[in-house]
Structure 1
């Protein structure tokens, strides 16, 4: 496992463990508890990700503004989900109006508050999720759980995705059982037969500023201590080998009529196992096309790449509405998501982006090439051939067109 910039978000969470160690010893195998003593910088980072004020704003402004997705906010108490009808009304087509006063009342009386998909509303969480998605190559979502003192949101259960629990405030006591279905892809509560309490494999206290990784299928339950517990759950949703094979078969059946034929009723009726085996073996042989397999994998990777992607730098819209004054010493760079080509002709220079073509005089070619060389630069550092006023006219024109933007200090 090669550690690179794409693994920086994961490194920040699991330090002092390395990414290579995490993948080889813990990923999809067993839980990992990262205590505060081992990663003292994590606590401050978590407070920058999400706060009580963020949730207060969500309730007062977003939920209070009108209908929202009915599942954007859930409540649970003593291990039992509270029916949505208890705190929302006018449910239509998957949207509902939330009764904020009722929600606060339920929380005061011991209910756990669950805010789903906070990566859609919180910039720092979105950044973290997108960076982790880039590393793992799959969807990454985030939920907030706020549990009152001594409260429990859910009973013993297992998830169908891997999770990182990031404790922001307070403490939560976790009991970890076995994995009756290792790497389960089916979420659900665990009954006594699945995870009897007397065979708990580990008990730990997750304190503020600590992290806990759990592979999917691991049965667990948590209870808040004497203070309110506030944690962020990061869900890593896997793309399994089974899903890959399903995708390959789905593609093959569009091309190969043999895969679209029904299983012969007479074989099913008489239980002709040998005949079925022969047919399945014949069809399986058609799945060994390496180019098709590579095409399906590349398509899946393209879907991930076309997802949310890296979060744009905060403030870029502000700079479009109210751009900073560009001087001779203002550092400028090409926007991260912009691709620019430079073409020359007898009529001058064409700077071509995805959305526009900007025509400039041919004598400015050395300066234009310097501006789009890849490294940030300023008007004063451009090649000779234009005076200072001419350089300023050039860079301000390109900045207005959105082909250059000012570096953000600090």
Structure 2
């Protein structure tokens, strides 16, 4: 499925992170990627994050997965919604949705969350801190949009759901199958299923906060610094008041932090590893039997294509015109020449063919990516 007559440059220039956009059925053809029963099965998997939200006449109820297999049979008459995160990691047809949104860099992509709702079901009025494309997969959903929100926006008193207490919609649309609604960060919105069997695909994008970056970057730095690297003052002179923290001391203490934390190359390498880390580190995607370079060469010689694991994150940073750093699932690979060409391709393509007579460093990198579960041979 690919977008038809969609002006990417205009969208990025006029709408991205600026204002919402309704896109009516832009696909060359549309078919719902995930069967409702398959989604329900994922919600029962302990390795998959899922939530069941029920709206009663007086309150909202949240139940976190994994859900029991007979859970939906016991659901009452109140409107409810099932939310399943990272469905693209488990269902290739859901992962293929991302191909149409590659005009946004890979490192910004988070996952594809899928919701299933009965008539009247929804998650209430809320806002997100990230961009999202809401693709209507099955059935119909009414979307209401409001104004911009911030940390001062009043919320309902609920311990787990961040729902707006005062939602004033300004626009309203009913999305049919294949329609898309783009919602920028902090815009209030509410979606309500119109009829049963309503499925929506939320393609969300990562937006790290300043606090998140500082905390994790500092933690990584602290782990790598020796305990012997300490403050010293061999030129200490007696001061008038022993209680004063002198200007020279503050300057040296401050430089101990800034000289380290402002090192751009180290930050770039850390961010590549951090940003590409698996969304769910508890899932082991490694093959049962590791392969060696000869196995890689033989499979390539037989014409086997390489496939990216949909759950893996691929990105790179260019160091020089001919060398890059490839980041995959929290690992960093230094690539030059032939390996760099391959690295750029694997970041842009979900399936690619490679010559079996490639260099040993290239085959070794393919072996390492295979053995860590980031790529596999097409069956």
Deviation at 1:121, TM superposition (A): 2.8
Gaps of 5+ in 2: 156-160, 232-243, 281-286, 292-300, 309-354, 360-375
Alignment of 1:110-121 (within 5 A): 110-121=79-90
- Once the two structures are superposed, the pairs formed by residues 258-273 of structure 1 within 5 Å of their partners are none
Structure with more relative contact order (C-alpha pairs < 8 Å, separation 6 or more): 2
2:190 matched to 1:205? no
8 Å CA contact retained: 2:55, 2:78? no
Equivalent in the alignment of 2:6: 16
| Equivalence map 1:118-197=2 (5 Å) | 118-128=87-97, 135-138=105-108, 140-149=110-119, 151-181=120-150, 188-192=162-166, 195=167, 197=168
Give SS of 1:188's match: coil
Aligned residues: 276
Alignment partner of 1:295 is 2:255: no
Q: Pairwise mapping of residues 290-329 of structure 1 onto structure 2 (< 5 A)?
A: 292-305=263-276, 307=278
**1:138/1:239 contact within 8 Å kept:** no
Structure 2 residue 198 is matched with structure 1 residue 229: yes
Query: Which residue among 198, 208, 230 is the counterpart of 1:239?
Result: 208
Query: Does residue 1:28 correspond to 2:17, yes or no?
Result: yes
2:28 paired residue number: 41
1:77 to 43, 55, 66: 55
Q: TM-score, normalised by structure 1?
A: 0.53
CA distance in 2 between partners of 1:173 and 1:279 (Å) = 57
Task: Give the stretch that moved more between structures: 283-292 or 216-225.
Answer: 283-292
**CA separation in 2, counterparts of 1:235 and 1:218?**
14
Structure 1 residue 106: Cα displacement: 2.1
CA 1:173–1:304 in 2, change beyond 3 Å: closer, same or farther?
A: same
- How far residue 41 of structure 1 moved from its aligned partner, in angstroms, is 2.0
Give the drift of 1:216: 2.6
Shift of 1:177: 0.8
Per mean C-alpha deviation after superposition, the further-off stretch among 162-171 and 129-138 is 129-138
In the other structure, the counterpart of 2:327 is none
- Aligned CA distance change for structure 1 residues 280 and 226 (closer, same or farther; 3 Å): farther
Distance 1:294 1:229, change over 3 A: same
- Is the CA contact (8 Å cut-off) linking 1:14 and 1:34 kept in structure 2? no
**Shift of residue 29, structure 1, vs aligned partner:** 2.2
Higher Rg: 1
Distance 1:24 1:158 in 2: 23
SS in 1 for 2:148: coil
**Counterparts of 2:95 and 2:7, CA distance in 1:** 24
**Which residue pairs with 1:217 in the alignment?**
186
Residue aligning to 2:34: 50
The question of whether the paired residues in 2 share the 8 Å contact of 1:334 and 1:372 is answered with no
Task: Report how far residue 288 of structure 1 moved.
Answer: 6.3
> In structure 1, the residue corresponding to 2:258 is in which secondary structure?
coil
Can you give the 5+ residue segments of structure 1 that lack an aligned partner in the other structure?
Answer: 1-8, 85-93, 259-271, 310-315, 321-329, 338-369, 375-404
SS at match of 2:263: helix
SS at match of 1:157: coil
Q: Distance in 2 between matches of 1:406 and 1:281?
A: 54
Please give the TM-score of this superposition, normalised by the length of structure 2.
0.57
Task: Determine the C-alpha separation between the residues in 2 that align with 1:70 and 1:331.
Answer: 35
- Provide the secondary structure at the position in 2 that maps to 1:55: helix
